[in-house]
């Protein structure tokens, strides 16, 4: 019999195997002739401690050449694409200033940070175009790698696709205790793996409306739907047959 732990381990292995296979496939198909002529980009580092635990991020649009020689419109945090790596120290409180210089609304969610909902940048904490947001984050978790990204209702995926992603490193001193390499950009390298498609001019291909009206989506059975509208607790085939019998 499979224990819960064995099942979880097996699932993780299958999933990661699939991802690695996909990446290798994409690499062979698309970039084999290029011979690695581009250096690994290393995002700038913001060490919060060194600047009094005050961190500024500007959400902005710019131009970035994902494909060599073909710059295209992109979004980034304090840069044309992606964002800085923000290093935080466990036990500190950090004051963040997020300025939204985009012509659209956004939010900034601290994915993986253990912080209260009211500063976590979910869909309800919109930073309007042209305005700013000042959350204070208390860092109370072990050493970890987290990331920040938009969490705008309906447009999270698109804004991330446009380039809004930054890393967070939480430091609690254990790297030093364990003797791990920790010189940022030299032997401590941030790697961000993303999946994108491009048009021939190097622009990003993304369908913001994957379900247009004529998309062949299976329609719900209309008579059930109409009958029980406004009564969500009494919907579905079991309820309706019970009512039909009554
Ligand atoms: Cu997230």
Per residue in 69-122, pLDDT (tens digit) is 999 999 999 999 999 999 999 999 999 999 999 999 999 999 999 999 999 999
Provide the Cα torsion 44, 42, 149, 98; round to 10°.
10
* Residues 74, 87: Cα–Cα separation, whole Å: 24
- pLDDT number for residue 216: 53
What is the pLDDT of the chain when averaged over all its residues? 80
pLDDT mean over 145-156: 96
CA of 153 to the centre of ligand 1 (A): 13
Domains, the chain, with CATH or none: 38-226 (2.60.40.420)
Per residue in 171-222, pLDDT (tens digit) is 999 999 999 999 999 999 999 999 999 999 999 999 887 766 655 555 444 4
CA of 216 to the centre of ligand 1 (A): 30
pLDDT mean over 139-155: 97
CA of 161 to the centre of ligand 1 (A): 13
CA of 147 to the centre of ligand 1 (A): 7
Beta-carbon-side half-sphere exposure of residue 67 (alpha carbons within 13 Å): 14
- If you ran DSSP here, which 8-state letter would residue 69 be given? T
CA of 179 to the centre of ligand 1 (A): 30
CA of 37 to the centre of ligand 1 (A): 32
Per the DSSP assignment, residues forming a β-bridge with 64 are 72
- pLDDT number for residue 31: 52
CA of 53 to the centre of ligand 1 (A): 23
CA of 150 to the centre of ligand 1 (A): 8
Per residue in 55-84, pLDDT (tens digit) is 999 999 999 999 999 999 999 999 999 999
* Residues 206, 74: Cα–Cα separation, whole Å: 12
Q: What is the pTM of this model?
A: 0.72
CA of 149 to the centre of ligand 1 (A): 6
CA of 146 to the centre of ligand 1 (A): 9
């Amino acid at each position: 019999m499979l224990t819960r732990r064995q099942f979880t381990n097996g699932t993780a292995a299958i999933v990661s195997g699939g991802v690695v296979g996909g990446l290798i496939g994409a690499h062979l198909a698309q970039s084999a002739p290029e011979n690695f002529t581009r250096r690994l980009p290393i995002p700038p580092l913001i060490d919060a401690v060194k600047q009094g635990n005050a961190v500024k991020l500007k959400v902005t649009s710019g131009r970035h050449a994902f494909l060599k020689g073909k710059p295209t419109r992109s979004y980034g945090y304090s840069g044309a694409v992606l964002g800085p790596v923000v290093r935080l120290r466990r036990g500190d409180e950090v004051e963040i200033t997020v300025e939204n210089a985009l012509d659209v609304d956004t939010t900034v969610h601290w994915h993986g940070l253990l912080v209260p909902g009211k500063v976590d940048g979910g869909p309800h904490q919109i930073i309007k175009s042209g305005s700013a947001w000042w959350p204070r984050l208390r860092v109370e978790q072990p050493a970890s790698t987290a990331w920040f990204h938009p969490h705008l209702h309906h447009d999270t995926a698109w804004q991330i696709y446009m380039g809004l992603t930054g890393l967070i490193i939480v430091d609690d001193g254990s790297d030093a205790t364990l003797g791990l390499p920790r010189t940022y950009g030299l032997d401590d390298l941030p790697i961000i793996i993303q999946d994108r498609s491009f048009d021939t001019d190097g622009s990003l291909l993304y369908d913001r409306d994957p379900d247009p009206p004529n998309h062949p989506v299976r329609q719900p059975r209309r008579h059930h739907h109409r009958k029980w509208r406004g009564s969500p607790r009494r919907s579905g085939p079991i309820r309706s047959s019970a009512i039909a019998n009554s």
